[in-house]
Amino acid sequence: MIIKPQRLLGEGLLASADRYQDKVAIISEGREYTFGQLKEDSMALASALLKIGLARGDRVAIYMDNSWTEAVAIYATTLAGGVFIAINPQTKGDKLQYILNDSGARILFAESRLEHELNIACNNTEQIEYIILHGRDVDLKVRDGINVENIENVSSAGNVKPLALNIIPNDLASLIYTSGSTGFPKGVMMTHQSMVFATWSLIEYLRLSQEERIMLVLPLSFDYGLYQLLMSVTIGATLIIEKSFIFLGSIYKQIEKTKPTVFPGVPTVFAMMISSYKRKPFSFDSVTKITNTAAALSTEYIPWLKKIFPNALIFKMYGLTECKRVSYLEPELIDKKTASVGKAIPGTEVFILRDDGKIAAPNEPGILYVRGPHVMAGYWNQEELSQEVLKPGKLPGERILCTNDLFKMDKEGFLYFVGRNDDIIKTRGEKVSPVEVENVINKLPGVNESAVIGVPDDIMGQVLVAYITCEKGKPITEKEVQQFCAGHLESFMIPQKVFILESLPKNANGKIDKLALLKQSL
């Protein structure tokens, strides 16, 4: 039998459905769904998308909770030749509107329960033609010209064959929006080629097989969460979808019940588990692999994780959305190279350059560069910003990724994270642009000036701390700032502490001196 190579993202589902028709692909909200069902529902929805006019390369926004329905929407979009944009359901209306307008999305999948944010976002969107809702019926007060349908009605109406064969590997598969230093999210362009390559590279070094049962507690809008779906579907494994990690007790019960073999997490998740373990010890024997990315995994966590997951290999990793994953540490080296994030993932290359452009010597700090098929095509509609991070490579016309992160590499080629070279804050596994938070705070009546910094925290990685000055005669409280932020930002972007000052420290150029504020916070 000739095995057809996978070139497009959706082909991973088609191949697994042929091999594992009746095997459980996804467990969501206590219900099991087979690969045959995933293919059938995805193809039906893809057909419906084509019937309502989806064209090759059209963007489809998916503003949904982690669920079977979101997984189907992702695969339906890619099978129909569209470009999916998974958006965190915590995203507020103003930011949702920006993403919809920036991407030029024509179709929006959304949860009915998010009607408040949808009404804010969709009245001033430029190109949205269809909103396809999941959940109870709601009366959206969106602008004229937007067709609002229920997902069940749309799916049942499709009878046009998906035309994925017209798509080639160089076409876009997804836009992944991530926080930027400008205060506006930027759309990372990922092609089918780059996502298929990254998926198989991850599968290889994580030593995954079709026997795995992967537990997903991270949002599918987060590329780390998204790739759990892509990997499990591609190799014929089972994905156990949870909406979030908010309720520890509920997650623990699900682990006991579903017996996952792989548990992906971020430092915040593991910190919460360690904290609860210290109060009352427990262990999960079924888990044979745990993975970590988004922020550095503290060396102090390792002994505790070994107690919670006594049979698990621990994979430390480093990555960024612009190339999905950069490096990983072989789990057998976790005690020998505890502080390292390992070496480049299979099929890729990394190197460190000094300020003068020369290769850094062993253990000399410099900026990390990444070379490989997994590097993004650029930022959507932001060529100038793309050129700042995509630099000329080793070959004529090649572009490599400048991470803007400081690293060191030892004599054996192992990487060590030194620090970020930009302003982005990483908290609870999420990237936060301080400018974005500052822009919101500055809209609060009475605020004169604001500055947001990230302060190191054992559990969160970093916590957001805001410093503000007020207009004369208009005092503002910490609670007022936090409540205002809660109405405009995702929960992880709300400052945990707010300090009201008479003035903010400035440097010689008149800019706010955030280093001075950080020293004040430590």
Contact 89, 66 (CB under 8 A): no
Report the percentage of the chain scoring pLDDT > 70.
95
Q: Average pLDDT, stretch 297-315?
A: 90
pTM over cut 0.75 = yes
Q: What is the pLDDT of residues 457-506, one digit of tens each?
A: 878 888 999 999 887 777 899 999 999 999 989 889 999 999 999 888 87
- The per-residue pLDDT for 515 is 79
CA distance 76 to 80: 6
Bigger pLDDT: 164 vs 330 = 330
Q: Give the residue among 177, 168, 123, 162 at the shortest CA–CA distance from 146.
A: 123
Number of C-beta neighbours around residue 5 at 10 A: 8
Report the DSSP beta bridge partners of residue 291. 264, 315
- The most confident of 166-170, 198-202, 412-416, by mean pLDDT: 198-202
Is 124 a member of any domain?
A: yes
Q: For the chain, count helices (H), then strands (E).
A: 15, 27
- Choosing from 192, 226, 256, the residue where a domain stops is 192
Range picked from 155-159, 354-358, 434-438, 464-468 for highest mean pLDDT: 464-468
Strands, DSSP E only, in 313-429? 313-318, 327-329, 343-344, 349-353, 366-371, 378-379, 390-392, 399-409, 415-420, 425-427
pLDDT digits (tens, 9 = 90+) for 318-330: 999 999 999 999 9
Q: What are the backbone angles phi and psi of residue 33, rounded to the nearest 5°? A: -130, 135
Q: What is the CATH number of the domain that holds 80?
A: 3.40.50.980
Residue 81, domain extent: 35-192
In angstroms, the CA 411 to CA 406 distance is 17
Binned at pLDDT 50, 70 and 90, residue 296 comes out as: low
What pLDDT is attached to residue 156?
A: 74
CATH at residue 512: 3.30.300.30
> Which tens digit of pLDDT belongs to each residue from 26-82?
999 999 999 999 999 999 999 999 999 999 999 999 999 999 999 999 999 999 999
At residue 181, the pLDDT reads 59
The amino acid sitting at 185 is: P
Is 467 within the bounds of a domain?
A: yes
Residue 7 belongs to a domain: no
- Given a cut of 90, is residue 220 above it in pLDDT? yes
Which helix or strand (DSSP H or E) is residue 118 part of? Answer: helix 115-122
Tell me which of 460 and 413 has the higher pLDDT.
413
Q: Is 195 helix (H, G, I), strand (E, B) or coil?
A: helix
User: pLDDT at position 432, please?
Assistant: 85
Report the number of distinct structural domains present in the chain: 2
Roughly what angle, to the nearest 10 degrees, separates helices 301-308 and 267-279?
70
Q: Under 8 Å CB-to-CB from 462, ≥6 apart: which residues?
A: 295, 425, 426, 427, 454, 455, 456
Which DSSP string do the residues of 258-297 spell out, in sequence order? H--SEEEE-HHHHHHHHHHHHHS----TT--EEEE-SSPP
Identify whether 76 is part of a domain.
Answer: yes
Asked if the structure places residue 114 within a domain, the reply is yes
Distance between CA atoms of residues 234 and 514, nearest Å: 45
Q: Determine, yes or no, domain membership for 474.
A: yes
pLDDT digits (tens, 9 = 90+) for 257-287: 999 999 999 877 887 898 889 889 999 999 9
**In 3-state terms, what secondary structure has residue 351?**
strand
Nearest residue to 82 (alpha-carbon basis) of 110, 33, 111, 48: 48
- Whether 516 maps to a domain, the answer reads yes
Amino acid at 19: R
- Look at residue 164 and tell me whether its pLDDT is greater than 60: no
Q: Which of 147, 177, 192 is the last residue of a domain?
A: 192
Of the pLDDT bands very low, low, confident and very high (cuts 50, 70, 90), residue 423 is: confident
Contacts of 23 (CB under 8 A, 6+ apart): 34, 35, 236, 238
Do 237 and 212 touch, CB atoms closer than 8 A? Answer: yes
pLDDT the model gives residue 363: 92
How high is the pLDDT of residue 2?
66
- Residue 369 and residue 352 in contact, taking contact as beta carbons nearer than 8 Å: yes
| pLDDT of residue 396 exceeding 80 | yes
Q: Determine, yes or no, domain membership for 368.
A: no
Mean residue pLDDT across the chain:
90
Chain segment 19-31, per-residue pLDDT in tens: 999 999 999 999 9
Sign of CA dihedral 450, 456, 457, 462: positive
pLDDT given for residue 294 in this prediction: 66
pLDDT confidence of 439, banded at 50, 70, 90?
Answer: confident
Of all residues in the chain, what percent carry a pLDDT higher than 90?
66
Average pLDDT over residues 230-238: 98
Decide which of 173, 192, 211 is a domain's last residue: 192
User: What length does the chain have?
Assistant: 522
Helix segments in 283-393, DSSP class H = 301-308, 383-389
Band (152; pLDDT cuts 50, 70, 90): confident
Q: Which of 243, 245, 240 is nearest to 228 (CA)?
A: 240
